């Protein structure tokens, strides 16, 4: 029986969520067969072993804040033998780094990659896919868009054969929380934002979410991966939610509308911005949820809703990608 | 295309409606609805309300043709604007010359701002407005929206468009 060797790069919320699920050997063995984690790295350190005790690794991370061995991800890729890299480092939309270098190196080495990192895909989607194909390995990225909500594999696999006409989605839970709260409580933006920060729903530096940058990055991935486009981040027309007034909701409601931050792609459009959404539209969702309305030529409309963030939720998408890689190989 | 609705008075006996329908067909109009207002019969005449979709050029000829058959047209109203949408504007709507913003739509000649609701909670704070625009067709409506969007962008006003057409 072949023993699959996994390497985890990035040990933040998502990395730790993945580790927690990987502890459940019985659950994962059913999906991919025998496996072991041979390397874990965070931004400061690493753990290397033929069979890492994940429980212990999580304890060390919680207690010390970082991992003990002075090794970088680059050094690990060069020196450690593994089959799949789980690239879960933080996103940088502009450069794609450090994830971009990690992914390229792993693919060139002949390793599969599963990533939750939007940056590398936004910066170099086509290049990375070509590289994966050339080296006969897979690059999976379900966790980059919509967290636990299935959308990439749903369209690629379950809607195979369909031409995608348009995708409209709510891809940022923080914005949706703020807007649906403003709608319900009739409160100004600033008040709801500080409340969201207190609840941990918005980050201390909220601009990445509320300016529409995060949604736009996800939209670029959807357009390139699912609609065969070749678009860049700068091609997206972006308007954030910071200037929305509570009165806007009252006035919109008179005509049967509410306001949501919508990412939309079709042949003529690539934009993120606040939109009037009919109260009857399935995208009129509340709280931190994400949702996507897909229009195709054969299946017509398909609607998905789910949790767009969270450690275990996002890890769920990473695990499903891992399962997908080995779904055809498990019985070989 | 325009939508014309007229109320004609017809004698309450067979064959009268044909006198109206024949010219409509002649000028390639499409009848959208016919309502007999039988409860309003007076002096043996029934008011009949007819809505027709017809090329603007033919409206005058149609009315003359109907009249030439001895039928009284009690009321006539032409609604040129068939496509409508609403948008929300947020920003300094009043202090950036509201009328020039509206002109972005009205001066097109094919679209008009038909309704506006402004909320101004505080002096010097951004106002919020719901603007309803009607145009003579979907393409024209789209163009009018683009004009408005360009003007708003220059003035730093956010324009929130509907996700689906109305």
DSSP per-residue letters across B8-21 = EEEESSTTHHHHHH
Q: Please give the pLDDT value at position B82.
A: 77
The widest CA-to-CA distance across chain B, in whole angstroms, is 67
| The pairing of beta strand B2-11 with beta strand B45-54 | antiparallel
A157-307 — its CATH code?
3.30.360.10
Q: Which residues of A touch B117 (CB under 8 A)?
A: 251, 254
ipTM of the complex: 0.85
B108 and B72 share a domain? no
Going residue by residue through chain B, which has 166 residues, state the pLDDT in tens, using 9 for 90 and above.
777 888 899 998 888 899 899 999 999 999 888 888 888 888 889 999 898 888 878 888 998 999 998 888 888 877 767 789 999 999 999 889 999 999 999 998 888 999 999 998 888 889 999 999 998 888 889 999 999 999 999 999 999 999 987 6
Tell me the percentage of chain B whose pLDDT exceeds 70.
Answer: 98
Alpha helices in chain A (DSSP H): 13-22, 25-32, 54-64, 73-79, 99-109, 118-134, 152-153, 173-185, 189-198, 207-210, 213-226, 246-254, 311-327
Number of alpha carbons in the 13 Å side-chain half-sphere of residue A40: 24
Within a domain: residue B47?
A: yes
Residue B166 lies in a domain: no
What is the structure's pLDDT at B5? Answer: 83
Joined tokens for residue A302: 């398909």
Q: Is B163 on the interface with A (CB under 8 A)?
A: yes
Q: Cβ contacts of residue A310 below 8 Å, gap of 6+?
A: A13, A17, A147, A148
Q: Are A91 and A14 in contact (CB under 8 A)?
A: no
CA distance B103 to B94: 14
Question: Residue B119: its pLDDT value, please?
Answer: 92
Task: Tell me, yes or no, whether B165 lies in a domain.
Answer: no
Q: Which two tokens stand for residue B119?
A: 């909320």
- Is B36 found in the same domain as B99? no
Buried b (16+ CB within 10 A) or exposed e, A284-318: bbeebbbbbbbbbeeeeebebbbbbbbbbbbbbbb
Q: What residues in A contact B84, CB-CB < 8 Å?
A: none
> Of B24, B55, B79, which one is at a domain's C-terminal end?
B79
pLDDT of residue B99: 92
In a domain, B136, yes or no: yes
- Report the distance separating Cα B14 and Cα B11, nearest Å: 8
Residue A176 Cα, gap to closest chain B Cα (Å) = 15
Q: What is the pLDDT of residue A297?
A: 97
Structural domain count of chain B: 2
Distance CA A87, CA A117 (A): 7
pLDDT, mean of each 10-residue run, chain A (332 residues): 95 97 96 96 96 97 94 96 97 95 98 98 97 97 96 96 97 97 96 95 92 98 97 97 96 95 97 97 96 97 95 96 83 42
Residues B93 and B127 in one domain: yes
Tell me if A52 sits within 8 A of A14, measured CB to CB.
Answer: no
CB pairs below 8 Å between A and B: how many?
63
Q: Domain A4-147+311-327: give its CATH code.
A: 3.40.50.720
The answer to whether the Cβ–Cβ distance between B162 and A251 falls below 8 Å is no
- Residue B90 has its nearest CB partner, among A243, A257, A275, at A243
CA separation for the pair A138, A287 (Å, rounded): 34
Among candidates A168, A255, A274 on the partner chain, residue whose Cβ is nearest the Cβ of B130: A255
DSSP assignment of A204-231 equals SS-HHHHTSHHHHHHHHHHHHHHS----
Among B163, B164, B165, B166, the strongest candidate for a mutation testing the A interface, having the largest count of A CBs within 10 A, is B163
A256 min Cα distance to partner chain B (Å)? 11
Write out the residue range of the structural domain in which residue B69 sits.
2-79
Task: Using alpha carbons, select from A172, A269, A178 the residue that is nearest to residue A212.
Answer: A172
Q: Is A34 exposed, middle or buried (0-12, 13-18, 19+ CB in 10 A)?
A: exposed
Does a structural domain hold residue B103? yes
Long-range contacts of B100-107 (CB under 8 A, 24+ apart): B100/B151, B101/B148, B101/B151, B101/B152, B101/B155, B101/B157, B102/B131, B104/B144, B104/B147, B104/B148, B104/B150, B104/B151, B105/B133, B105/B144, B105/B147, B105/B148
Q: Tally Cβ neighbours within 10 Å of residue A186.
A: 11
Q: Which residue of A has its CA nearest to B153?
A: A239
Q: Residue A264: list chain B partners with CB under 8 A.
A: 163
Which of residues B63, B79, B95 is at a domain's end? B79
Smallest Cβ distance to B164: which of A244, A247, A281?
A281
Angle ∠(A213,A218,A219) on CA atoms, nearest 5 = 95
Q: What is the pLDDT of residue B166?
A: 66
CATH number at residue B9: 3.30.70.260
DSSP reduced 3-state for B46 = strand
- CB distance A257–B158 less than 8 Å? no
In terms of domains, do B142 and B102 share one? yes
Asked if B88 and B153 sit in the same domain, the reply is yes
> How far is Cα B91 from Cα A281, in angstroms, rounded to an integer?
27
Which of A61, A168, A218, A271 is an active site residue? A218
Question: What is the pLDDT at residue B4?
Answer: 83
The structural domains of chain A, with segments of one domain joined by +, span: 4-147+311-327, 157-307
Q: Which of B130, B160, B164 sits opposite A278 (nearest CB)?
A: B164
């Amino acid at each position: 029986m072949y023993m699959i060797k996994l390497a985890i790069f990035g040990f933040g919320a998502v990395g730790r969520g993945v580790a927690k699920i990987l502890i459940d050997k019985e659950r994962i063995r059913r999906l991919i067969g025998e496996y072991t984690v041979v390397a874990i790295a965070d931004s400061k350190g690493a753990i290397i072993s033929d069979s890492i005790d994940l429980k212990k690794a999580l304890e060390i991370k919680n207690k010390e804040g970082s991992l003990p061995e002075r090794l970088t991800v680059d050094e690990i890729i060069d020196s450690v033998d593994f089959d799949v890299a789980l690239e879960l480092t933080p996103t940088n939309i502009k450069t794609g780094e450090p994830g971009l270098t990690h992914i390229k190196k792993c693919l060139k080495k002949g390793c599969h990659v599963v990533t939750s990192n939007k940056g590398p895909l936004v910066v170099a989607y086509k290049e990375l896919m070509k590289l994966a194909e050339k080296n006969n390995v897979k690059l999976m990225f379900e966790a980059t868009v919509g967290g636990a909500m299935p959308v990439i594999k749903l369209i690629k696999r379950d809607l195979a054969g369909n031409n995608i006409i348009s995708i409209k989605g709510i891809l940022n839970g923080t914005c949706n929380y703020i807007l649906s709260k403003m709608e319900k409580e009739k409160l100004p933006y600033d008040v709801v934002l500080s409340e969201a920060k207190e609840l941990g729903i918005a980050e201390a530096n909220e601009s990445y979410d509320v300016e529409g940058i995060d949604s736009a990055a996800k939209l670029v991935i959807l357009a390139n991966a699912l609609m065969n486009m070749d678009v860049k981040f700068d091609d997206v027309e972006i308007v954030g939610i910071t200037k929305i007034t509570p009165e806007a909701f009252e006035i919109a409601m008179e005509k049967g509308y509410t306001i949501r931050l919508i990412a939309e792609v079709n042949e003529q459009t690539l934009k993120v911005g606040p939109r009037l959404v009919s109260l009857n539209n399935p995208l009129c969702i509340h709280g931190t949820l994400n949702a996507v309305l897909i229009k195709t030529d054969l299946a017509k409309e398909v609607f998905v809703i789910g949790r767009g963030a969270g450690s275990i939720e996002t890890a769920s998408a990473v695990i499903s990608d891992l399962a997908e890689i080995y779904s055809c190989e498990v019985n070989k | 295309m325009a939508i014309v609705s007229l109320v004609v008075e017809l004698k309450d006996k067979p064959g009268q409606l044909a006198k109206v329908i024949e010219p409509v067909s002649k000028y390639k109009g499409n009848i959208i609805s016919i309502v007999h207002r039988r409860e309003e019969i007076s002096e043996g005449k029934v008011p009949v309300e007819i809505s027709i979709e017809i090329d603007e050029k033919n409206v005058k000829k149609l009315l003359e043709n109907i009249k030439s058959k001895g039928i009284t047209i009690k009321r006539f109203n032409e609604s040129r604007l068939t496509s409508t949408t609403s948008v929300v504007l947020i920003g300094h709507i009043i202090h950036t010359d509201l009328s020039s913003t509206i002109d972005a739509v009205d001066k097109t000649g094919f679209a008009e701002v038909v309704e506006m609701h402004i909320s101004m909670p505080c002096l010097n704070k951004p106002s919020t407005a719901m603007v309803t625009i009607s145009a003579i067709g979907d393409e024209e409506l789209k163009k009018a929206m683009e004009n408005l969007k360009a003007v708003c962008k220059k003035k730093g006003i956010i324009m929130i468009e509907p996700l689906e057409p109305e």
